[in-house]
Amino acid sequence: MPHQPNLSPSAQVPLWRQLQGAASVLLAVRDGQSMTPALEDVDAQLRPGVQALAFHALRWLGRAEALRQQLAKRPPPPEADALLCVALALACAEEAAPYTAHTLVDQAVEAAKRSDATLHQASFINGCLRRFLRERDALMALTEKSPQAVWNHPQWWIDRVRKDHPTQWQDILRANNSRAPLILRINERKTTPAQYLQALLAMDIGAFPTGEHGVVLTEARPVTSLPGFAEGHFSVQDAAAQLAAPLLLDGLTAAGDGRLNILDACAAPGGKTAHLLELADCDVTALDIDARRCERIAQNLARLGLQAHIVVGDASRPGDWWDGRLYDGILLDAPCTASGIVRRHPDVRWLRRPTDIAQLAAIQARLLATLWPLLKPGGRLVYCTCSVFRAEGEQQAQAFAASHLDAVLMPSPGHLLPQGSVKGAVFPDNLMREHDGFYYAVLQKRSA
């Protein structure tokens, strides 16, 4: 997904057109569609502005919906409701609002008038928004009673995070509503973080190191404009995800020929595959069920100057793709709710359903049980998810270790909770200050 742009008015594109686009994205999300394909349907010239407004609207959607309920007891038709909620989301946070409230109202009404789907609701939208401007303080105070409005997450999600992390739930939800910075992983086969920071400094681009291989940009910008992009000097990867490859490789020793045989299950788009190849001379099988996403792996590896054995296949059916050679290491970045990467994908919280957690946990358990026999005695499997829910992390790993007597749960990072932001004092040696939510378990197979 493209990195979220800054909220800034586009000189070429009138705001009403961007508001129409953001409303169409919200409509798609409410219809159960991910934001990424919804944005691809938006005209290319409009896309950066629409994406910025849609990100903002989805971060404030809980508050916007609560305000809309105060302003109109019965929701208007879906298209008009989406436009109204986008405008309220953009107007309700004065300190973070990208435009003045009066500009927003004027342009939202213009957007309504310019579409057949909302034309007949233009005066209703105008009335709601003008009433909001008049009664802002009183209406905002009324919505304070709703946790969904205060935290901008569905109620079930708030309850679940609170149950799983009773002392840190507010920090997690707060971090989810912050904007994630652009984080790079430096390709150590081409350059070093210190050298790359110098290259950025020479171009007047603010950045600081994070972890062993990471660099955080103080301001997001198009990755293709950064030094060394075409030459494969870096990849975009969150700091939490950068822990996967070192955790797997740590303590692994190859047999006679000196090359480790590693499986990256569920590998697309290939960030962790590439990191493994950057850090060690190893044979990596990059497996993914989606053929188009496997093409992405190939493209990413080609830019970095790396090679893996890319296989289209279902990780839960090794009979279809496995050659019978046991692996020294297996990386299982399992399908999950993505509840840890909400700040990068603010639509996730509105797309998920409470039942998704158990369904995904069942898939995770099946993948662990299926891939474990493919691991050599003495080998290790790293299980990870970009989730903060314990059912997809700690509970999953402990249940697996309890039911597999040859599995030893090694010292592992466990649940990493989302941390933001890059503002304020910077402690470059402290990885734990800027990353998404993640879970890691390292499972060692007992030697026979």
Q: Give 53-111 pLDDT, tens digit per residue.
A: 999 999 999 999 999 999 998 999 999 999 999 999 999 987 777 788 899 999 999 99
In 140-299, beta strands by DSSP E: 183-186, 207-210, 214-217, 234-236, 260-265, 282-288
> Roughly how many angstroms between the first and final C-alpha of the chain, as a whole number?
44
Active site residue 386: yes
CB hemisphere CA count around 39 (13 angstroms): 18
Q: Do the Cβ atoms of 274 and 304 come closer than 8 Å?
A: yes
Average pLDDT over residues 319-323: 97
Tell me the pLDDT band of 4, cut-offs 50, 70 and 90: very low
Q: Do the Cβ atoms of 315 and 374 come closer than 8 Å?
A: no
User: Residue 296: its pLDDT value, please?
Assistant: 96
Grouping H, G, I as helix, E, B as strand and the rest as coil, residue 377 is: strand
Q: What is the tens place of the pLDDT at every residue in 5-51?
A: 444 444 578 999 999 999 999 999 999 999 999 999 999 999 999 99
Q: Is the peptide bond before 269 cis (omega within 30 degrees of 0)?
A: yes
Structure tokens at 375: 């691991």
Tell me the pLDDT band of 242, cut-offs 50, 70 and 90: very high
Q: 336 vs 24, 140, 321, 364, CA distance in Å?
A: 26, 35, 23, 8
Grouping H, G, I as helix, E, B as strand and the rest as coil, residue 112 is: helix
User: Residue 9: its pLDDT value, please?
Assistant: 45
**Element (DSSP H or E) covering residue 302:** helix 291-304
Q: Which residues are within 8 A (CB) of 100 and not within 5 positions of it... i.e. 6 or more apart?
A: none
CA 338 – CA 348 distance, rounded (Å): 7
- What's the whole-model pTM score? 0.92
User: Residue 95: its pLDDT value, please?
Assistant: 72
* Eight-class DSSP state of 130: H
